[in-house]
Amino acid sequence: MTLLGDVARWFADPAHYQGSDAVQTRLLEHAAVSGLAVLTGLLVALPIGLYLGHTGRFGFIAVNVANIGRAIPSLAAIALAIPIAGTLLGVQNGLGFWPTFLALIPLAIPPILTNAYVAVRGVDRDVIEAGRGMGLGEAAVLRVIELPLALPLILAGIRTAAVNVVATATLGALVAFGGLGRYIVDGLALQEYDRLFAGALLVALLAIAVEVAFGTFERAAVSPGIRVQQGAL
Amino acid sequence: MTSTRGATLEFRDVSKRYGGQLAVDQLSFKVPAGRICILVGPSGSGKTTSLKMVNRLIEPTAGSILIDGRDVLREEPTALRRRIGYVIQQVGLFPHQTIAENVGTVPRLLGWPKARIAARTEQLLALVGLEPSRFAGRYPAQLSGGERQRVGVARALAAEPPVMLMDEPFGAVDPIVRDRLQNEFLRIQRDQGTTVLFVTHDIDEAIKLGDRVAVMRGGKLVQYAPPGELLAHPVNAFVAEFVGSDRGLKRLALLTVGGMDLDTNVARAAVSPNAPILSPASTLREALIRMLASEAQVGVVLDGQRYLGLLTLSKIGKMIRSDA
Amino acid sequence: MTEGEPLIRWDWIASHLDEFAFRLGEHVELTVIAVSVGFIIAFGLSLLILRAPRTEAPITWVTGTLYTIPSLALFALLIPYTGLTVLTAEIGLVSYTLLILLRNIVRGIRGVPAEVREAAVGMGYSPREILWRIELPLALAVIIAGVRLATISTIGLVTVTSLIGQGGFGFLILIGIQRFFTTELIVGAVLSVALAIVADALLVLLQRRLTPWTRAT
C-alpha cells in the first residue's frame, strides 16, 4: 500500500509538472515522436501496400515484411539506430530524437504494409469484376471498392503499428531521448520506485488509450454494410 | 416506363488464344436488336470467354465485335462498359453500399444529376419487383439470394444499356426462385427491349429464354438457331445429345395448340364430356399432360366460347416423330 | 561512438565468444520457460473458452490489455513487488505470449470442419477423444503457427529484460549503448535476430514432422 501512496503523492506533487521533466512535456515528447514515426511509416507503407494489393504483385515480399519486422527486437532497433543516425546525420545526432525516430519508422511499416496488402487482396474478386464490368477504371476500382472494403483491416494495421511504436518509444530514454520512458529508466537507475511506477503507469495508459481510440475510430469508420455482413456470417 | 432500344451485336471471326490453347475459335454470329441470344455448352466450351470479350474484360486475339456496327475494340474500355449492362452469377454487389447506391453506380459514374439517379433507382427497383421504400436503404447482406440477383439485374439496367451481358445469372439460386426470376427477366427484357447475350450450361434455361441459341463446344460454334429449330433439327450427334434424348418433349413446350392442325370433323356434342378444354395459347406439353390425365385421349379446343376443333394424341405423336 | 573507431571490431568479437555462448544459454532459457508456461496457461484458457464461450470476451480483454502494455512498463510495474529478478522477467514475458497462443489454439480448434467432428461423433468418439485425437491434431498447424509468433516475439522481448538485470543478448545491446560501443551493440542485435530466425526454422521443421498430412498436395 505504501508504494501506491507514494505514487499518488508523486502525481500530486506540483514539481512534477514544471520544467523539462514535467509530465505534460514528457507525454508530448512521447506522443510527438510516436505520431511522426507512424505518419512517416504510413506515408511509406500505405501506397506500397495498396499498390501491391491492387496489382497482386510481389505478394510474397509484402507478407514477409511483417515477419521480418517482428523478428527485429525493439531494443535492437533502437540500438542500431544510434550508429545509423550518427552516420547519416552526424555524430552529434547519434543520440536523442533522431535515433528514436529512425528506429520507430521500420517498426511502423510492416503491419501497415502487410495489412493493406492482405486487405486489398482479400476483397471478393467477383465484386471487383462486377465493378470493372460496369466501367470502373483501375483508380476507381481502388477508390470505390477496394479501399472501403479493405478499410477495417488497414485501420487495424495502423493501430498495431501505433501501439508498437508508442511502446517502443519508451526505450528512446536509453538513447538520451525524453518521453515517458525517461521516468522508468531514471527511476530504475536511481531506485526511485515511485517515479518508476508512475512512469510505467503513464506509458501503459497511453498505449491502452491509443488502442481504445483506434478501436473506436475503426468501428465508426467501417461501412454499416460490412458490419451487417459480418454480423450475418 | 422508359423503353430502351436494343442494339445489334455481331461477332466476326473472333478468336481468343491463351498460349498455345485456342479458347475461342473464329466465332461468328449476329444477334438482332432487342433479342436474347443464349450461349450454351459444356464447361470449357468458351462461352464465358466469348461473353467477356464483348465488354473487353478479356481482349480478343483476333476478329471484331460490333455493337450497332461499331467495333468495341475501337472504344475506351471503361466508357464501353458503362454502356453495357453486366450481370454475373455471384452478383458482385458492393457490400459496403446500400441497394440504392449499388443500383445507382453507373449513373453516378456517368455524372447524372442526383434527382435523376434517385428517380431511376426507384423505378428500377419497382421494375425488378423490390418495393423501393423497403429495399433502397438496405445492405446486400440483408437480402436473400434471389433478391440480390434482382438487384444485380436492376444495377445492370440502370443506365439504359442497349446491350446486356449475363453470365449464368440464375445459376446460384434454387429451382423455384430460378423459375420465377427467369419469368420476370423475360417480362423485363420485353419491356426494355435490351439486346441480351446470356451464358448458361443449362439447356432447359437456354430453350426457355432464348430467341436464338448458340451451342458451343471447344471454342467453336456448333449450331446457331432458334430453340424450336435446335430441338427439331440438331446439326450433329453432339447437339442432339446436348439438348437431350427428350428433345421431342421439350419441343412440345415451345409449340402451342393454336399452331396445330385440328380435327374439325367431329361435332362438339359428340366428344366425351371428360375431355379437357384447351385454349389455343396453351403449349402442347400442357395439352398432352391434361389429355393423358383425363383418359379421354382428345382435347376440346375453345377460343373463348368458340369451338375450334379437336386435338388428338396421334397428332401430338406425329409432332414428336417429325423431330427425329 | 568515438570518432575514428571502426564500426565493428572483429578482434573484440573473437575474444568474447565465451560470453556470447553464456548469453545464448540465458536467452534460450528465458524464452523456453516463457513460451512453455505461456502455452500451458493459454491451453487451459482456450479449453475454458471452447467449453464456455461466454468467457471468451473477458479472457480476450484481459490478455489483450496485457499485450497492449509496453514491455518496459509492465516490467517496471512489477519491480516494486518482485524486484530485479527472473520472476519479474518471466511474468512479463509469459503475459505477452498469452494472447497470441490463445487466439491460435481457439481458432485452430474452431477451424476443424464440422463434418469431421460430426463423423467422429457418429462413430462413437467421446468428447475427450474428439479433442485429443481429432481436434488437436487437425488444429496443430494453426497452433504451431501461434507458437512461432510467440517464440519470435519473446526472443525480441527478452532483450528488454536486460534493463531489469536479465536479458541474454539484450545485455550486450544495453552495455553497447551505455559504453557507446557499436561492436557490442550490433553483435547483440544480430545474434538476437539470428536466434529468432533459427528458432522459427526449427519450429517449421517440427510442424512438418507433426503434421505430415498438410504436405499431401
Is the ipTM here above 0.90? Answer: no
Task: Express each pLDDT in C52-77 by its tens digit.
Answer: 999 999 999 999 999 988 888 899 88
3-state secondary structure of B89: coil
Task: Express each pLDDT in A133-150 by its tens digit.
Answer: 999 989 999 999 999 999
Residue A111 C-alpha, separation from nearest chain B C-alpha, in angstroms: 24
In the stretch 204-243 of chain B, residues with CB closer than 8 A to chain A read: none
The answer to whether residue A11 neighbours chain C at the CB level (below 8 Å) is no
| Residue of A33, A75, A233 to mutate for C, most C C-beta atoms under 10 A | A75
Alpha-carbon torsion (A16, A22, A24, A27), positive or negative: negative
Instruction: Look at strands B36-40 and B195-200 and give their pairing.
Output: parallel
Facing residue for A126 by CB, picked from B84, B88, B109: B88
In the stretch 58-87 of chain A, residues with CB closer than 8 A to chain C read: 67, 70-80, 82-83, 86
**For residue C105, what is its C-alpha cell?**
489454439
Domain residues of chain A, as ranges? 2-232
The Cβ-side half-sphere exposure at C94, using a 13 Å CA radius, reads 16
* The pLDDT of residue A230: 65
Between vectors from CA B271 to CA B269 and to CA B277, what angle results, nearest 5°? 100
Q: Which has the closest alpha carbon to B313: B296, B298, B295?
A: B298
Beta bridge partners of B163: B84, B195
| H or E stretch covering B30 | strand B21-31
**pLDDT beyond 80 at A116:** yes
The answer to whether residue A120 neighbours chain B at the CB level (below 8 Å) is no
**pLDDT beyond 60 at C217:** no
- For B69, residues 6+ apart whose C-beta sits below 8 A from its C-beta are B8
Instruction: Tell me how far apart the alpha carbons of residues B207 and C115 are, in angstroms, rounded to a whole number.
Output: 39
* Number of other CB atoms surrounding residue B235 within 10 Å: 14
Q: Show residues of chain A in contact with C170, CB under 8 Å.
A: 73, 75
Beta bridge partners of B22: B17
Residue A90 C-alpha, separation from nearest chain C C-alpha, in angstroms: 11
Question: Chain centroid to CA C83: how far?
Answer: 23
Pick out chain B residues at pLDDT < 50.
1-3, 324
Question: Whose grid coordinates read 433502397?
Answer: B136
- For B260, residues 6+ apart whose C-beta sits below 8 A from its C-beta are B284, B311, B315, B319
If phi over 0 gives left and psi between -120 and 50 gives alpha, with beta otherwise, what is residue B285?
alpha
Give DSSP secondary structure letters for B280-299. TTSBHHHHHHHHHHHS-SEE
Contact between chains at C68 and A211 (C-beta distance less than 8 A):
yes
If phi over 0 gives left and psi between -120 and 50 gives alpha, with beta otherwise, what is residue C149?
alpha
Let me know if chains C and B touch, i.e. at least 3 Cβ pairs under 8 angstroms. no
Q: Which domains does chain B have, with CATH numbers?
A: 9-245 (3.40.50.300), 257-321 (3.10.580.10)
Contact between chains at A136 and B109 (C-beta distance less than 8 A):
yes
Fold of A2-232: MetI-like fold (1.10.3720)
Phi/psi of residue A184, nearest 5 degrees:
-70, -50
Interface A:C, Cβ pairs < 8 A: 135
Domain residues of chain C, as ranges? 10-209
pLDDT band for position A93 (cuts 50, 70, 90): low
**For residue B91, what is its C-alpha cell?**
452478383
Q: Name the neighbours of C, counting chains with at least 3 Cβ pairs within 8 A.
A: A
Q: Is C23 exposed, middle or buried (0-12, 13-18, 19+ CB in 10 A)?
A: buried
Q: Show residues of chain A in contact with B142, CB under 8 Å.
A: 228, 232
* The pLDDT of residue B3: 45
**pLDDT beyond 80 at A64:** no
pLDDT band for position A233 (cuts 50, 70, 90): very low
Task: Express each pLDDT in B142-187 by its tens digit.
Answer: 999 889 999 999 999 988 899 999 999 988 888 888 898 899 999 9
pLDDT greater at residue C1 or residue A83: A83
pLDDT band for position C215 (cuts 50, 70, 90): low
pLDDT band for position A81 (cuts 50, 70, 90): confident
**For residue C126, what is its C-alpha cell?**
467421446
Contact between chains at A129 and B92 (C-beta distance less than 8 A):
yes
Angle between helices C17-51 and C56-68 (to 10 degrees): 160
* The pLDDT of residue C94: 96
Contact between chains at A229 and B78 (C-beta distance less than 8 A):
no
Facing residue for A200 by CB, picked from C65, C77, C158: C77
**CA-based max dimension of chain B:** 72
Q: Name the neighbours of B, counting chains with at least 3 Cβ pairs within 8 A.
A: A
| Residue of A123, A134, A146, A226 to mutate for B, most B C-beta atoms under 10 A | A134
Closest Cα in chain A to B105: A134
Q: Which has the closest alpha carbon to B30: B278, B225, B238, B313?
A: B225
Task: Express each pLDDT in C151-208 by its tens digit.
Answer: 999 999 999 999 888 889 999 998 988 888 888 888 998 999 899 999 999 999 998 8
Instruction: Look at strands B195-200 and B163-167 and give their pairing.
Output: parallel
Q: Name the neighbours of A, counting chains with at least 3 Cβ pairs within 8 A.
A: B, C
The answer to whether residue A212 neighbours chain C at the CB level (below 8 Å) is no
**pLDDT beyond 50 at C1:** no
Q: Show residues of chain B in contact with A224, CB under 8 Å.
A: 139
Q: Show residues of chain B in contact with A155, CB under 8 Å.
A: none
Instruction: Tell me how far apart the alpha carbons of residues B290 and B36 are, in angstroms, rounded to a whole number.
Output: 31
pLDDT band for position A1 (cuts 50, 70, 90): low
For residue A113, give the amino acid letter: L
| Residue of C2, C61, C68, C158 to mutate for A, most A C-beta atoms under 10 A | C68
pLDDT band for position A91 (cuts 50, 70, 90): low
Average pLDDT on C96-103 reads 94
Spell out which chain C residues touch chain A, with contact meaning CB-CB distance below 8 angstroms.
1, 3, 7, 65, 68-77, 79-80, 149, 152-153, 155-160, 162-164, 170, 173-174, 176-177, 180, 182, 185-186, 188-189, 192-193, 196-197, 200
Contact between chains at A134 and B106 (C-beta distance less than 8 A):
yes
How far, in Å, are A225, B123, B170 from residue B129 at the CA level?
22, 10, 16
Question: Whose grid coordinates read 511483417?
Answer: A66
Interface A:B, Cβ pairs < 8 A: 88
Please state, for a pLDDT cut of 90, what percent of chain A lies above it. Answer: 43
Do B211 and B197 meet the contact criterion of CB atoms below 8 Å apart? no
Do B15 and B25 meet the contact criterion of CB atoms below 8 Å apart? yes
Task: State whether CATH 1.20.810.10 applies to domain C10-209.
Answer: no
Beta bridge partners of B18: B21
pLDDT greater at residue A232 or residue B111: B111
Calculate the CA dihedral of residues B250, B254, B258, B260 and round it to 10 degrees. Answer: -50
* Alpha helical stretches, state H, B55-196: 77-82, 99-103, 105-109, 114-127, 132-135, 145-157, 175-192
Do B154 and B93 meet the contact criterion of CB atoms below 8 Å apart? no
Of A11-15, A165-169, B53-57, B181-185, give the lowest mean pLDDT range.
Answer: A11-15
* The pLDDT of residue C154: 93
How far, in Å, are B255, B300, C48 from residue B251 at the CA level?
7, 21, 64
Instruction: Tell me how far apart the alpha carbons of residues C91 and C99 are, in angstroms, rounded to a whole number.
Output: 14
Average pLDDT on A51-66 reads 82
* Number of other CB atoms surrounding residue B163 within 10 Å: 25
Mean pLDDT of chain C: 89
Closest Cα in chain A to B53: A133
Facing residue for A127 by CB, picked from B83, B92, B156: B92
